[in-house]
Amino acid sequence: MLLVAAAIAFTYDPVRQFDFVNWDDDQYIVENPRVLGGLTAENIAWAFTTTHVANWHPLTWLSHQLDATWFGARPGPVHVENVLWHILNTWLVLRVLRQLGMSLMGALAITGIFALHPLRVESVAWISERKDLLSACAGLCAVLAYLRYVRQPSAWRMALVAAWQFVSLLCKPMLVTLPVLLLILDDYPLRRWSRPTWRAILGEKWPLIVVSLLFCVIALFAQHAGGALRTIGELPLLDRITNAAAVVFIYLRQTAWPSELACFYPRRVYAWGGAAAVILGLITLAAWHGRASRHVLFSGWLWYLVALLPVVGLVQVGDQAHADRYTYLPQLGLITMLVVSVGRWLPKRHVQAVVVAAVLLMLSWQTSRQVLVWRDSETLFTHCLAVTGEQPLAHFNLGLHLAAHGQPVEAEEHYRRAVALQPVYPKAHNNLGVLLKERGDLPAAVEQFRLAAAQQPGYFAALMNLGQTLDALGDTSGASDALRHAVEAEPLNVRGHTAIGRLLLNQRNLSGAATRLARAIELAPQDPEALLYLGIVRIEEGATTEARTLIERARQLSPHDARVQRVAAEQLARLKLNPQP
């Protein structure tokens, strides 16, 4: 195991130097004040009540908050922590296999392939996928607790299994299939199934079934609330079934030949999905009939199918067809089948050892190459386009990266390509509008912001940008309407109240401006912009003492914001030149 752990550490060593990527890492960490604020009572409460990014996984949020408390916003230590979680999971896999009666060599071979397979890279090298590692860790602990229960059954031991399952699902709702997976182990290798006891074996798992059903409901609610759940109208049931069968075979191919892996595979209807479904049924039927002599193959195949069930697309979440990260625990069934088959074909132990070593070396080499793909957003999505062909998400994220790194012309090209491929793409229209506004083409920017707001009603950023751009064009009425709709969409967002306050200040509506800016400060007492502009309102009202206090506070809170510092200096100079009683 120490050799496997060392191989993992060596293979994933480059991640220490990797940055955050602009795909979910921004929403999970970089631009999330609830995470960057660390472990506070308020942030912990948020973690247990939010469905941010269309998920309810409070323990995952707590993990990121703890990272922020320890490391701040530095990605390096967080990447290293992900690698350590993967090493821990690898050790747990080895323990489970040994307790299930697997030989040491067989268990080490399965563990090594699991640990070093390129399909693991997405779960380990992507900071936002910490949830996968945490969920798998608790799930493997649940299996170990169940094996102790099997040896000495008791109510409290089954309660411990349910507790670990509960923890796993609080990290990610992947192991809702755990009761069925344990029934598969009951069949083989535990051999607990028999006619007199099958009712008891089913009945003992009622706590696990209750937990699974509860989290299925919670997951569907969170995904629906986040707009990630796709309806039957968007993707018909027959297409879901045939696509699910196709995805099962795609993962088989990627397990055997892990090449051309990408961070995002666009959703599509596979023409060969019907044939895949038929072949899948025949394989399962053959495995069932051959279980007497090849029981481990039947159990491994069932584990693979059942563990994949929540993520094959029968319940379609998001726009991906499949994802490497979904194979983290399901692939154990396939690897077990592979190792057992090779062991039977090559009975001599030294030959088996040579074959396993060769396989692990090849996997480690391929994984080390795949790890480098996650170095930064530009590398990640350039590779994605090279593997999957033209797709809007990769172009959009490349545009994000290029715009953030001072390449607006190149960023605009990618945004335009994204909306050409997918005309209904509110974020791409909004970001394209931002670039056009920065370039000085305000009418074209307004057109893009209007498109974004129309395609996604209540889109706060687009409405804010629209309002501020219309204000710059002198359309105060249109600006006021857009900003009002922005505040209605997100009444607790400080930026909306501040923007309306500034607009009212420019219109000399001092009372209305003061009300809006005071509300912004009530929501965020440390917001420098709201403090600054309320200070300007107070100057206009003649309350110079309060104005000076507010403006000085704004300067202190934003020492590196050149605009706030400039405006504050101008207003303080104005107070000195025109003192009022």
CATH H superfamily, domain 492-581: Tetratricopeptide repeat domain (1.25.40.10)
Pick from 235, 241, 215, 60: which is nearest to 134 by CA?
Answer: 60
**What mean pLDDT is predicted for residues 167-172?**
96
* Predicted local distance difference test score (pLDDT) of residue 571: 87
pLDDT at 54 over 60: yes
Mean pLDDT confidence for 165-185: 95
Does the pLDDT value for residue 289 go beyond 70?
yes
Helix (H, G, I), strand (E, B) or coil at 466: helix
Please say if the pLDDT value at position 53 is more than 90: no
What confidence score (pLDDT) does residue 22 get?
A: 92
pLDDT in the model for residue 200: 83
pLDDT, the chain, mean: 90
**Sign of the CA dihedral with 60 first, then 61, 65, and 67 last:** positive
pLDDT digits (tens, 9 = 90+) for 357-405: 899 999 999 999 999 999 999 999 999 999 999 999 999 999 999 999 9
Please report which confidence band the pLDDT of residue 94 belongs to, taking 50, 70 and 90 as the band edges. very high
Percent of the chain with pLDDT over 90: 62
Distances, alpha carbon 513 to alpha carbons 485, 510, 523, in Å: 17, 5, 16
Give me the pLDDT at residue 152, please.
Answer: 93
pLDDT digits (tens, 9 = 90+) for 109-161: 999 999 999 999 999 999 999 999 999 999 999 999 999 999 999 999 999 99
Would the pLDDT of 292 be above 90? no
The pair of three-digit structure tokens given for residue 114, joined into one six-digit string:
């699991």
Q: What is the pLDDT of residue 192?
A: 85
Q: For the segment 468-491, what is each residue's pLDDT rounded down to a tens digit?
A: 999 999 998 999 999 999 999 989
pLDDT digits (tens, 9 = 90+) for 502-542: 888 888 889 989 998 999 998 888 889 899 999 999 988 88
Determine the pLDDT at residue 235.
Answer: 66
Q: 98 or 581: whose pLDDT is higher? A: 98
CA distances from 239 to 102, 298, 452 (A): 39, 27, 30
Cα(152)–Cα(104) distance, integer angstroms: 24
Q: How far apart are CA 118 and CA 379, in angstroms?
A: 17
Task: Report the candidate in 85, 60, 75, 79 with the shortest Cα–Cα distance to residue 371.
Answer: 79
Indicate if the pLDDT at residue 436 is higher than 50: yes
- At 203 the pLDDT is 87
Half-sphere exposure of 567 (CA within 13 A, CB side): 16
pLDDT tens-digit profile of 204-226? 999 999 999 999 998 888 877 66
Of 216-225, 461-470, 545-554, the least confident: 216-225
Q: How much is the pLDDT for 331?
A: 96
pLDDT at 577 over 80: no
Question: Quick one: what percent of the chain has pLDDT higher than 70?
Answer: 96
Report the phi/psi class of residue 253: left, alpha or beta, with left for phi > 0 and alpha for psi in -120 to 50. alpha
Compute the average pLDDT of residues 550-566. Answer: 88
Sorted by sequence, the CB contacts under 8 Å of residue 245 that are 6+ apart come out as 273, 274, 276, 277, 279, 280
pLDDT at residue 184 greater than cutoff 80 = yes
Q: What is the mean pLDDT of residues 93-102?
A: 95
- As a whole number of angstroms, the distance between CA 525 and CA 531 comes to 8
Q: Where in the chain is the domain with CATH 1.25.40.10?
A: 492-581
Angle at 248 between CA 247 and CA 253, to 5 degrees: 90
Residues 168, 176: Cα–Cα separation, whole Å: 9
Q: In the prediction, which pLDDT does 578 show?
A: 57
The CA distance from 258 to 266, in Å, is 18
* pTM reported for the whole predicted model: 0.88
Q: What does the pLDDT read at residue 362?
A: 94
